[in-house]
Amino acid sequence: MAPGPDEFIRVEKGKKRGQIQAGKRIVPAFPSIGRIYHLEAGLRTYGGVFHIEEKLDGFNARYFRHQGQIHGLTRGGFLCPFLNDRTDLVDPRFFDHHPGWVLYGEIVGRANPYLSECHLPVEDVEYFVFAVADERGRFLPPGERYSLLEGYRMRTVRHFGLFRPREIESLREIINELTRDEREGIVIKDASGGRPSRKYVTPFSDLNDLRHLSALLGETSPGYFTERIQRLLAHCWEFGNTSHLDHLGDAFRPALEGFGTIQRGGKVSERYAMNVHRRETAEAFRHFIDRSQQIEIHPVSLETRDNGFWHFVFERHYPKATGRLRRMVGGRLFYD
């Protein structure tokens, strides 16, 4: 039976945004991770010994067990029909052995209803664990987490090893490798688990974000674009490689194509897909997104597959971006 509205209480603001009270227990929010723009300087001020893990481009999800049932939460602390349907992504034995604990990870794959593209060879979706909290809300240090998860059928984010700030050349090579492989970046985690983590993204990640969101002009704040351009410039300066700037203009081609779409009477939209065990999950997810994100979901197809899943394809329509482009193409007045 699904939990009643009085069972789960969500915190909506501040550093604990997304924290859940489930009955008498607390399900902690995702830990905040600060960003560094200069890799060498950021690691020098961090100091000590640290783990380097891959930062994946996916959708944050928490799994926990409450009253015998496994639940999936979004980063914002919402019970998601898709995540609740796909509890097969986690090993239930983990919660048998560790009741009250919480798994934190990334949903990645081409059938991810929260991302319209994927740069990993995952046709369905997979869950990559990157953090674990015990029943007291304490996050396990990386080494402890690695040992713990070895005994379970769950994937974890890629671990590059232990490093010190002086090994900057090896770390730069990791960033160059991730850039060539079209991956997002790294997370720097203190070996003892006592200090907050830091993250650093690749120039590919910045360019890919610009390319993807440039088609949604009007839905995205100008700061989103300037932030990524600044990060890209900082990387090019530190690494002495300005070739990434040659691709900056191409990142805005989807926005250019959007004008033509609007002129032909179309709408700003994206296509997504997901695989679920139950047919009714597709409709529940549609209502969940309509309610929580204030965008329009339009079903395209829902059919069974040989693997036993229901494959749901849908489009997200963005009325705000569509309306703005229509006014631009139609010659309407704008005031700065």
Q: Which residues lie below 8 Å from residue 84, measured CB to CB, with a gap of 6+?
A: 70, 71, 72, 281
Mean pLDDT, residues 16-20? 93
Domains of the chain with CATH codes? 31-56+157-201 (3.30.1490.70), 203-265 (1.20.58.2250)
Task: Tokens 């593209």: give the residue.
Answer: 117
In this structure, of 9-18, 227-236, 275-284, the range with the lowest mean pLDDT score is 9-18
Please check the confidence at residue 293 and state whether its pLDDT lies above 90.
Answer: no
Q: What pLDDT score was predicted for residue 290?
A: 80
Q: CA-to-CA distance for 104 and 94, rounded, in angstroms?
A: 13
- The bridge status of strand 296-304 relative to strand 310-317 is antiparallel
Task: Tokens 């926990």: give the residue.
Answer: 64
Please check the confidence at residue 294 and state whether its pLDDT lies above 70.
Answer: no
Mean pLDDT, residues 275-299? 88
∠ Cα 193 199 204 (to 5°) = 150
Residue 316 · residue 270 · CB < 8 Å: yes
Please check the confidence at residue 311 and state whether its pLDDT lies above 70.
Answer: yes
Please check the confidence at residue 3 and state whether its pLDDT lies above 50.
Answer: no
Burial class (CB in 10 A: 0-12, 13-18, 19+), 318: buried
Residue 43 · residue 165 · CB < 8 Å: yes
CA nearest 269: which of 302, 311, 297? 297
Please check the confidence at residue 40 and state whether its pLDDT lies above 70.
Answer: yes
87 falls in which pLDDT band (50, 70, 90)? Answer: very high
Share of residues in the chain with pLDDT > 70 (%): 97
Residue 75 phi/psi, 5° resolution?
-60, -35
Q: What pLDDT score was predicted for residue 72?
A: 97
Give pLDDT tens digits for 155-196.
999 999 999 999 999 999 999 999 999 999 999 999 999 999
Please check the confidence at residue 82 and state whether its pLDDT lies above 60.
Answer: yes
Please check the confidence at residue 126 and state whether its pLDDT lies above 70.
Answer: yes
Q: CA-to-CA distance for 176 and 56, rounded, in angstroms?
A: 15
CA nearest 104: which of 113, 112, 94? 94
Q: Is 162 helix (H, G, I), strand (E, B) or coil?
A: strand
Q: What pLDDT score was predicted for residue 242?
A: 96
Q: Got the DSSP string for 5-48?
A: TTTEEE--SGGGTT-EEETTEEEPPPPP-EE-SSHHHHHHHH-S
Q: What pLDDT score was predicted for residue 4?
A: 47
Q: Residue 67 corresponds to which tokens in the numbers above? A: 């009253």
Please check the confidence at residue 60 and state whether its pLDDT lies above 90.
Answer: yes
Q: CA-to-CA distance for 135 and 243, rounded, in angstroms?
A: 48
Give pLDDT tens digits for 210-264.
999 998 887 888 899 999 999 999 999 999 999 999 999 999 999 999 999 999 9
What is the residue-averaged pLDDT of the chain?
93
